[in-house]
Structure formats: C-alpha cells, structure tokens
Amino acid sequence: MNLLKIRRDEWPRFLLAFSYFFFLLAGYFMLRPIRGTIAANHSASLHLLYTATFISMLLIVPVFGWLVSKFRRGRFIPGIYLFFISNLVFFVYAFKGDATGDWVQYGFYVWLSVFNLFVVSIFWSFMADIFQPGQAQRLFGSIMAGGSLGAMAGPLLTAKWVGQIGSSGVMTLAVTCLVAATSFAIILSRFERHQHRDKPAAVIGGSIWEGAVQVFKSKYLLLICLLMFSHNLTSTFLYNGLAVLVDESIIGFDERTRFFSYVDLIVQILAFLFQFLITSRLVIYLGMPRTAILPPILLAAGFTLLGSSLGLVLFAAVQVAQRALNYGLLGPVKEMLFTVVDRETKYKSKNFIDTVVYRGSDVTASWLFKGMMTVGLSISQIAWVYIPIMGMWAVAAWHLGKAYTRLKTQMDSVTG
C-alpha cells in the first residue's frame, strides 16, 4: 500500500473519513449544477446574491461559535448537518424546474453557498483535530480524493437524471447522501472516542468571537486570509464570466444544469488524479512553499490565454483548470496549514476564515466584476486585470509555506 502511504493502524480512521467526505460532496455536487443554472438565469444579479450570502454568513457565524463553545464535536457536527438537511427538504417541495419562482431560486442559491462552506469547513476542522501534521501530509490528499469521487458521482447522476426526475428529484437524492455523511460523522466521532478509552473530546469553550479576534492577532492566519482572498478574486471572476457566457449561449433550465454537471464532472476527475497520485508527493518532495505557489503560476498562464482569445469552451477550460487545482492541490494544502495550530483555531478561527473571509472576498470580487462590466470592459480585457493579483497570491503562498514549515518543525520537536 505504498501508493497511498497509509499505515496499518490508520486504515479504520482513513476509511471512515474517506466515506464521510464521499457522501458529503456527492450530496453537494448533485446540487451545485442547479446553483450554476440559477447563476446563469440571473447573471446580472450575481453581485446581489453574493452580498446576500455574505450577510447570511455574518448572521450564522456567531451561532456556530456559540455551538462550538458549548457542545462537544460529537454533538454540534451532526446537529449542524441535520439542520441543513431539514432546509433541503423544504426546497425539494418548493422547486418546480423552469416554473420555480425567482425568490425560491434566490433562496436556494444563497442557502447552498452557505451550506457548502459550513459543512466542508466543519469536516476539515474535524480532520485537522484528529490527524497530526505528518499524517495530514500523507493522508489529506487521499481523503480529499474520496470527496472527489463523490463529487464525480454527484454531477454525473444529476446530468443523467435531471431530465427525468427534475430538480426536486435530484434534491431528494442529495438528502439521502447527506444523511449517509452525517451517519459517518457520528461513527467517526464515536471511533475517536473509543480510541481515547471512551473519553469524550473536550468542549472548546471560550467566547463566540474569539475565532475572529485570533485571526487579526496572528500573522500566520492573516497570510491564510490573503491566500484565500487572492484565490477567490480569481475564481469568482471565472464563475461570473462563465455564467454570462452560458446565459448568452445555452437555453433552458435542464440544458444549463446538464452543462454545469459535465463541467463539474471534468473538474472532479482532474482533481481526483491530483489528490490520489500527486498532491502528497508534491508536498513531501517539493516542500510546502514550492507546492503552494504552483496554482497561481499555472493560472496566470491561463489568464494570459483568456486575455488574448475568448470563447465559451476556452473560458470553461480555464475555469475547469482553476477549480481542479483548487480541489486537487490548493485545498489539501490549505487544510494541512491548520494541523499546526491549536483546537480553538481549528474550529473557530478556521470556520471564520472559511465562511466570512471566503464569502467576503466573493462579494468584493463580484462587485468588482460588475463594476468593470458596467464601465464597458469586456471579459477578455478584465482577465488582464487579474494577473497582478495572482502575483500577490504567489507571494502570500510562499511566505505561508515557510511559516507552516517552521511551525511543523516546532511541533515535531515537541511531540518527539
């Protein structure tokens, strides 16, 4: 089993985490093409939807901080998942395909954007809590590959069945997957408790605002914010630009949903190859700093192409590359960065970064895109604006990789 670099005693925990992430992302990626269709249907209003999502994040983060402060992870993790599942059941009955009302579409778009960041952030907080930094370097890429397999199955099923069962039927399948993911979260939590001789994980305690305060006190966490901000400026431009091009080129709710399903499928196949075969080896052999700067360098080349030539297929190809690098390389690297911090930072500060900072940068990017389109810049011209941003991204990634290496060395010396 040298290919996977998993030790014998790590297999039970690895398989539970792998299965948990498989069903979590299978459920989400069944729903994501529907959100893509809504974005294309309302491409002129995306900046407002991003703003609504950001405001929703600001309202929810204090509630999450309170839950983390008062309850053990074995309770608040499944509780949050079950809350989101109950929301999805409402949309199952509210969606009617092309006849779905605009406000229901807006609500689903915002809800799925909030859902995605919260449940995935919680998953990786859990993983950073139970795996040591050395284990994370070896295992996180393969665990994320489990998510990519689910993310391949999700859009494939949506593309195949949306024409027969409609968006409500797809949502019903997603509910089933999310219930399975919640079950694996509970099993993994109990397994960890058993490994520690039935001693439950300690309640983290503290104030609900401590996670946000800690971010602004830590240079390391601020570098992570800068990394995420730079990436999201880039990814949001690609998302909004593709929505505009699809709105111009493809007609019909189901046809647009099918297009976004196939885009998601290609992304996840490429991401899976990175996660399963490449990412862990890059981190081990190149080191964190050199690995972290690869995505902005590669994407700068793609944006140079977009600035020189533009079309739906080329634009979709660059977005596929960006998202594949995000899921396959940048994602595992970012989650590894949180293995060298304390538990409060892993749950509270990480969740603040993954939700408020993430969606805040989305809002900034969406209004920036809207403003540049309003003043008459073409999508091709806007692409040139983002190349300096990728230079900033590369600088932040390099310094962050160096900081991670120092913290990991200190932790390794303490743990022996």
pLDDT tens track for 203-220: 454 444 666 788 888 899
Question: Would you say 287 and 401 are in contact if contact means Cβ atoms under 8 Å apart?
Answer: yes
How many other CB atoms sit within 10 Å of the CB of residue 397? 28
Question: Would you say 330 and 202 are in contact if contact means Cβ atoms under 8 Å apart?
Answer: no
pLDDT tens track for 297-321: 999 999 999 988 878 889 999 999 9
What are the CB-based long-range contacts (under 8 Å, 24+) for 284-288? 284/137, 284/138, 287/401, 287/405, 288/333, 288/336, 288/401, 288/402, 288/404, 288/405
Residue 1: what pLDDT?
44
Cα–Cα dist 200/204, whole Å: 12
Domain with 251, as residue range(s), is 8-415
pLDDT tens track for 98-130: 788 999 999 999 999 889 878 887 888 788 788
Choose among 151, 153, 152, 157: nearest CA to 170.
Answer: 157
Return the higher-pLDDT residue of 324 and 73.
324
Cα–Cα dist 273/195, whole Å: 32
Residue 274 pLDDT exceeds 90: no
Question: Would you say 231 and 390 are in contact if contact means Cβ atoms under 8 Å apart?
Answer: no
Cα–Cα dist 235/241, whole Å: 10
In a domain, 319, yes or no: yes
Residue 197 pLDDT exceeds 90: no
| The most confident of 101-110, 156-165, 251-260, by mean pLDDT | 101-110
DSSP 3: T
The domain total for the chain is 1
Cα–Cα dist 32/26, whole Å: 10
CA 287 vs CA 180, 298, 402, 403, 405: distances in Å = 36, 18, 9, 12, 8
In a domain, 3, yes or no: no
pLDDT tens track for 210-254: 667 888 888 999 999 999 899 999 999 999 999 999 999 988 888
Query: Can you give the CATH number for the domain in which 391 is found?
Result: 1.20.1250.20
In a domain, 154, yes or no: yes
Return the higher-pLDDT residue of 19 and 64.
19
In a domain, 1, yes or no: no
User: 145-179: b or e for each residue (b if 16 or more CB lie within 10 Å)?
Assistant: bbbbbbbbbbbbbbbeebeeebbeebbebbbebbe
In a domain, 341, yes or no: yes
In a domain, 172, yes or no: yes
In a domain, 58, yes or no: yes
Return the higher-pLDDT residue of 343 and 122.
122
Grade residue 74 by pLDDT with cuts at 50, 70 and 90.
confident
In this prediction the pTM is 0.73
* Residues ≥6 apart with Cβ < 8 Å to 366: 46, 47, 50, 51, 236, 240
Residue 209: what pLDDT?
63
In a domain, 333, yes or no: yes
CA 301 vs CA 294, 298, 307, 390: distances in Å = 11, 5, 10, 10
